Structures are given as structure tokens and as C-alpha cells.
Structure 1
Amino acid sequence: MAKRTQGSAGDVGLLIARATAGGLLAGHGAQKLFGLFGGYGIQGTAGWLESTGMKPGKFWAYVAGGSEFASGLSMALGFLTPIGAVSAFAPMLTAWNKVHMGKPVWGTEGGPEMPILYMTLATMVGLAGPGRYSVDQALDIDVPAWMVAATAAGVAAGVAYSISSKPPEPEEPSADEALAAQGTGTGDAQE
């Protein structure tokens, strides 16, 4: 087997992984922030987030969209890569908990397949580094460990807060509504 050197297939592989995962994650954020790529924009995202218990929805729409967009862009470009990789966990862990928890793993079943893939790729990029073909390498950027640790602490605090918010309890139907739902309501007789 040929010995790998910097600039080898490994760096190209990192570029492909970063550009794909980061680009898609940034696009996912752009759906929330700007309504691009078939997204619902801030207003639509805010309403959906409120239905999961994350209030105020508009604030969380900016947080979710912004963190996906910024962390995805960071990974895609290989710019401040460890911070982008760690930051990608915030929206994905929250999505797993709020939307996908308790479902089978596959996306077709509403499961956490997508967040797992994003977190796996973010972990790979975070551990391996951005590779030779990155802004970090071109500008000789070395992110200090304390900055990565501070980002991780912020991500952990944000995720803990967001997953602790509970969805609103469904309102109890009135007696008439309950009877109507059973087809024995007090309204007009059905033929």
C-alpha cells in the first residue's frame, strides 16, 4: 500500500466530506433563515418550533437556522473548523431530541438518520482536521483548545436548555367535542 503524504487522497476525501456535509447543513440553515431551497423561512420555522415547546419560536428559529448555516459554512470552507464541527452538534442533538426521539433510526420513519450522519461527519472533521485544502490551512489558522472547549460548553448549555422545554400539552376537549368525536354528539343526527 502506498504511503500517504499531505495533499494525498486523504486530503481530497476530507475536502469532499467537509464540502458535502457542511454545504448541506448550511443549506438546511438557509431553509430556516431565508426560506431558500423549499424552506419555510423564519416565520414558518418559528411556528413549527413553538409546536415542539421551543418558545419564543422566532428566537429559536434564528438560533437553529443560524447555527446550522454558520457551522455548515465553517465546515464546508474548513474555516475555524473545530468550532464549526462542535457547533454542528447543537442543532442536530436538539433535532434528535425534539423531532426524532423514540422513532426507528431511518429517516423514512421520522427517525434520526440525518442528525446522526451530520454528527458523525462533524466528529470526523473535528478529529481529523480540515485537511490541506481548507481556509484554515491556507491562512495557517490554529484554533486554540480553550476556544473549542468554550464552544463545546456553550453548545452543551444550549442543547440542555432547548431539550428541557416541553411541548405544550394538548387542550382537553369539552364534553360536547368528545361526544362529537365519537359520533354520538348532541348536534344534528347523521344519516
Structure 2
Amino acid sequence: MDTGLLLLRVALAALLLGHAAQKSLGRFRGAGLEGSATMFHALGFRPARPMVVAASLSETAGAALVLLGAATPLGSAIVCGTMVVAAAANADKGLWAHHGGYEVALTYGLIAAALAFTGPGAYSVDAVLGLAAPPFWVGACAVVVGAVAATPLLLRRRALLRRSESAG
């Protein structure tokens, strides 16, 4: 089980780091900061450039914590919250990624949530500190904190989109 949790953490962290690098640095055929800012603006996340930076930093911080298995519930909460925002931005396109949907964000968020409940396993900083097997309530709190942290951003986005629709 510990090897499986390590593999899951490494895979999730690598994908999140790549996703952040696409957004902020233009790596892996990504749009980079300016291209991502244009997309964020169109999606209603304003001011767009700082939002891209915040999203990239959140993905990077969450990925680093998950990868190391350090403060895993916190890392999971960061990833869950970031992925709630990403999923909401693509919800109108449906589930499947080939239509621009939220499939990827949902998958990353669910993996992070699962890690919040299971803990990172024996091959982790948390295990060295005796924190590798969190109680159920810690996992539940991580998921709730992630969702609650996403809420103000989503409410602001909704208000900005409504304002744009009524002005245009």
C-alpha cells in the first residue's frame, strides 16, 4: 500500500507541476502567463494576471506538499480548492476533457481528497513525524477547507460575469 501511495503522490505532483508550468512559464505547450491571463479574463477571473500567478503558485505549493508527503492534509486542501475553481470554470462544457470539460480538475481533486483521508503512506515526511495515518476528521476537514477557500473566488467570478453580461 505504501508504494502505491507514493506512486499516486508522485504522479499527482508531477501532473500539477506541469499544469502550473504550462500556465505560468509556457512549458509543455502551455499558454504562458500572458496567454493564460487572456484565458482567465475570458473565464471571469479578474484581475487575470494575478489570478494566473495565484493559481500557479497554489498548484505548485499543493504539488510540493503532496510529493513530499509533508503536511498532506494541507497540500490536499490546496489542491482540492484549486481544482474546485478549475472545475467550476469549465463546468458549462460538461465533464469530458475532449470537449474542454472539468474531467482533469475533478480527477486531480479527487486524488488529493483521497490522499487527505488515507495519508501519504510510509515513504513521506509525515510518516517520519508520526503523522502518516490521519483520522477521518482530518481528511474531511481538508476537503471542506479546500471547498470553502474556493467559494469567495467563485462568487467574485460569478458577480464579474453577471456584470459583464449586463454591460454587453
Normalization by structure 2: what TM-score?
Answer: 0.81
**1:117-145 CA distance string (max 9 Å, x none):** 111111111100000011222354579x8
Q: Which runs of 5+ in 1 are unaligned?
A: 1-9, 173-191
Using the aligned pairs only, state the percent identity: 31
What is the rounded CA distance, in whole Å, between the counterparts of 1:169 and 1:32 in structure 2? 26
Unaligned ranges ≥5, structure 2: none
Q: Who is 1:108 aligned against?
A: 98
Offset of residue 108 of structure 1:
1.1
Structure with greater helix share of residues: 2
Aligned to 1:15: 6
Shift of 1:93: 0.8
1:88 lines up with 2:84 in the alignment: no
Q: How does 1:45-60 map to 2 (within 5 A)?
A: 45-60=36-51
Over aligned residues, Cα RMSD in angstroms?
A: 2.7
For 2:117 and 2:42, locate their aligned partners in 1 and report how far apart those are by CA, in whole Å: 36
State whether residues 87 and 151 of structure 1, in contact with CA within 8 Å, keep that contact through their aligned partners in structure 2.
Answer: no
Structure 1 moving runs of 4+ over 6 Å: none
Q: Contact 2:76 / 2:143 at 8 angstroms: preserved in 1? A: no
Residue aligning to 2:125:
135
Alignment of 1:125 with 2:120, yes or no, is: no
Supply the distance in 2 between the matched residues of 1:11 and 1:127 (Cα, whole angstroms). 14
Corresponding residue SS for 1:123 = helix
2:165 to 158, 169, 177: 169
Please tell me the residue identity of whatever aligns with 1:55: R
1:42, distance to aligned residue in structure 2 (A) = 2.1
Count of paired positions: 160
CA separation of 1:13/1:150 partners in 2, compared to 1, >3 Å: closer, same or farther? closer
Aligned to 1:188: none
Rounded to whole Å, the distance in 1 between the matches of 2:69 and 2:84 is 22
Give me the whole-angstrom Cα distance separating, in 1, the residues matched to 2:166 and 2:100.
21
Specify whether residues 105 and 150 from structure 1 end up closer, same or farther in structure 2 by C-alpha distance, changes over 3 A only.
closer
Q: Does 1:27 align with 2:18?
A: yes
Q: 1:125 to 1:149 in 2, by over 3 A?
A: closer
Q: What TM-score results when the alignment is normalised by the length of structure 1?
A: 0.72
